[in-house]
Structure 1
């Protein structure tokens, strides 16, 4: 089941999203790429879509770093016992 920020495999294939970009924020990348293509990649045209996508990427990065910190803390605690 795809979340609100994760596109289905069929959508990703239909919009030809490269494998490297198929992550937690893939559903936000599709409208960003459509907007970019429609507006000939003018950087000022798709600011809202780009900001939304970059915020999702940042939030995902922070989530993964917090998870890694918990794993490292648990490993350090286990090693000290």
Structure 2
């Protein structure tokens, strides 16, 4: 499933996004990194970009947790049926 926040492989290669950060929010990370570089990594700069990226990361975490919970429930039901 590709979301609107996912950059293409070519975009990630061009912007040198490390492999561990190539996730559902990669399209938001690219402008954040550009802003950070432009502002010399000042922590009070780029707050809007950082907030948007962190919100995306949190929503992705919630989505993955929900999927895992459904899988665990399905496995428990399948285990109960086998008995």
If the length of structure 2 is used for normalisation, what is the TM-score?
0.93
Equivalent position of 1:22 in the other structure: 22
| SS of 1:6 mapped into structure 2 | coil
CA drift at 1:3: 3.3
CA RMSD of aligned residues (A): 1.3
Unaligned 5+ segments in structure 2 are: none
Provide the rounded CA distance (Å) in 1 between the counterparts of 2:72 and 2:2: 29
Poorly superposed stretches of 4+, deviation over 6 Å: none
Across the two proteins, how many residue pairs are aligned to each other? 81
Q: Deviations over 1:21-56 (max 9, x none)?
A: 000000000000000000000011100000000000
Do 2:2 and 2:24's aligned partners in 1 also have CA atoms closer than 8 Å? no
Do 1:2 and 1:8's aligned partners in 2 also have CA atoms closer than 8 Å? no
